[in-house]
Amino acid sequence: MDFILKISSKLLSYFLVVVIVRFILKKASAEDKIVTDTNEEVAYIKKTTYSKIYFGIAVTFGLLYIITETFPDSGNGKKLVSSMFITLSVLCFMISLMYKRWYIRLEKDKIVYHNMFGKYVTIDLKLVTHYKFSEHGELCLCQNETTLLTIFSVENRKFLLDILKKNQIREKREKQSKEFTIKADPVQKWVITFLTVFLLAIGSICVKGKFLIGIVFSLVMFSLSAGCCLHMFLDKIVVGTKEITQYRFMRKPWRIPFSDIEKVEVKDVDNAECYDFILKNKKKLRIKMAYTNPHLLEKLVEKRKWISSK
């Protein structure tokens, strides 16, 4: 009974902290909207999805901290593990708040960049000579050889390209291979790698401290994290001149000739744009546009006239 009361009181306290943090996140977002929403013909590029992901991670590690603290003390192992859990939870809360405040505002004649620390940078489109796409799908606004701003997002990209077109800003294309690869962004890879190594370190501390519950938690979470890590590093899609090939961990390559593609549907999954390639045999291949080279895939789909509005 004492154990139940102890964990219930800790969960209630943590719940109140989470509610307060969520209120702060919403207030920060509301303040930004009041300051910036002065023109009807504007669009925003935001990273609210990243904010939600880090918030979820923070809550998870916070709950693990509470659960760890309710178990009997078994030496330094428990203290070290609980300290790491709460440290990571606080860090993720802070990153979530920073992503919540980040945005890029697109207007007719200028672009306003608001970074995670509240600093504003205004770029007059009259200074932009051209734009180009990087391998990872980043849209770079340039003044001659100087990069003024790099935008990595497909959100409101059409709005942005229309603005650039109206301002007579053209794309500078570099020589590219007819074959390109779509895979997870390097930042996503190294974030999950850091988390996997971190969980491995926690597991090692639990083993040395003979903290059994910590060992079990670390083993389960390390297995999930390692699986995601392998998926991100080994999975990829190669688009050639006549076919699309999907490579997946521990599975045979799936080759799809262009002639087998019936249409492509644009979907919004978890606030991220995806292309669903519908085949003549009714099978489906989903490609996330948040991966590398989304602009090349977009151009291929437009060229082949696969796009469907249904």
- Could you tell me if 10 and 66 are in contact, meaning their C-beta atoms sit under 8 angstroms apart? yes
pLDDT above 50: residue 272: yes
The three-state secondary structure class of 278 is strand
When computed from its CA atoms, the radius of gyration of the chain, rounded to whole angstroms, is 23
As to burial, measured by CB atoms within 10 angstroms (0-12 exposed, 13-18 middle, 19+ buried), residue 193 is: middle
Copy the structure tokens of residue 30.
Answer: 């509301």
Tokens of 296: 């090349």
What pLDDT, on the 0 to 100 scale, is given for residue 220?
84
CA–CA distances in Å: residue 231 to residues 101, 193, 283: 30, 11, 21
**What per-residue confidence (pLDDT) applies to 36?**
39
pLDDT digits over 19-40, tens only? 666 666 565 554 444 333 444 5
Paired tokens of 199: 């969980």
What is the assigned CATH class of domain 235-308? mainly beta
Start-end of H helices in 71-185: 76-101, 157-166
Provide the percentage of residues in the chain whose pLDDT is more than 70.
77
| pLDDT greater at residue 219 or residue 31 | 219
* Mean pLDDT of all residues belonging to the chain: 78
The pLDDT tens digits of the residues spanning 177-187 come to 578 888 887 77
Q: Do the Cβ atoms of 44 and 156 come closer than 8 Å?
A: yes
Contact call for residues 308 and 275 (beta carbons, < 8 A): no
Q: pLDDT tens, 248-260?
A: 988 899 999 999 9
Q: Is the pLDDT of residue 105 over 80?
A: yes
Parallel/antiparallel/unpaired status of strands 130-133 and 170-171 = parallel
E runs forming strands in 107-205: 110-114, 120-124, 130-133, 139-143, 146-151, 170-171, 180-182
Higher pLDDT, 66 or 281: 281
CA angle 34, 35, 38 (to 5 degrees): 85
Q: What is the DSSP letter of 167?
A: T
pLDDT at 33: 44
- Which CATH class for the 103-171 domain? mainly beta
Amino acid 211 reads F
**Highest mean predicted confidence (pLDDT) among 70-84, 111-125, 243-257, 260-274:** 243-257
Give the residue among 96, 108, 99 at the shortest CA–CA distance from 153. 99
